[in-house]
Every structure is written in C-alpha cells, then in structure tokens.
Amino acid sequence: CWNKENKEMDWVRRLEWDNSFFYIEPEQYSDLFTLEDYDLMPYIGVKDSFGKEIYVSDIVRAESSYEVLYAHR
C-alpha cells in the first residue's frame, strides 16, 4: 500500500474490515491505519522491462507500440 505521509510503498501484513472501514497493518508498524493514511495498490501480475512490479494506479510509458496486458472494468 502507498503511505501518503511518507510517500513510499509499505508491505501490508493484515487488512481488516469493520462495518464501513478498512484497517491496514503495514509490516513496519504494529498499529492499524485507515484508508485516509494509505492507498491500496494491488500488484497486477506484470513486471516492466527492468523487472519492477507494476501496481494498479502506476503510470507507465510505452515506446512506439503497446499491448494491453490488464484492463480494469
């Protein structure tokens, strides 16, 4: 998940749902946070040409031609 305050990715240890709120427990913290603090960005199962994982909401650039590998509907 994207840590909005620190502007970095954090690995999620646990997600909880309580009535109308998601709570996130990042690996490096022992507290639960809400989606006000983090954005969930699931891995789409594709890596770029440098081997870096691509997540939902990532911005990627394609040279000349491209192929749609993932389409959110």
pLDDT of residue 65: 63
pLDDT digits (tens, 9 = 90+) for 5-62: 889 888 888 878 877 677 788 787 777 787 788 888 888 888 988 998 888 878 777 7
pLDDT of residue 68: 66
Angle formed at CA 39 by CA 6 and CA 53, multiple of 5 degrees = 85
38, with CB counted inside 10 A (0-12, 13-18, 19+), is buried
pLDDT of residue 69: 67
| CB-based contacts of 23, cutoff 8 Å, min separation 6 | 15, 16, 17, 32, 33, 34
CA-to-CA dists, residue 42 to 9, 36, 52, 65, angstroms = 11, 17, 14, 25
Which pLDDT band holds residue 66 (cuts at 50, 70, 90)? Answer: low
pTM higher than the cut 0.85: no
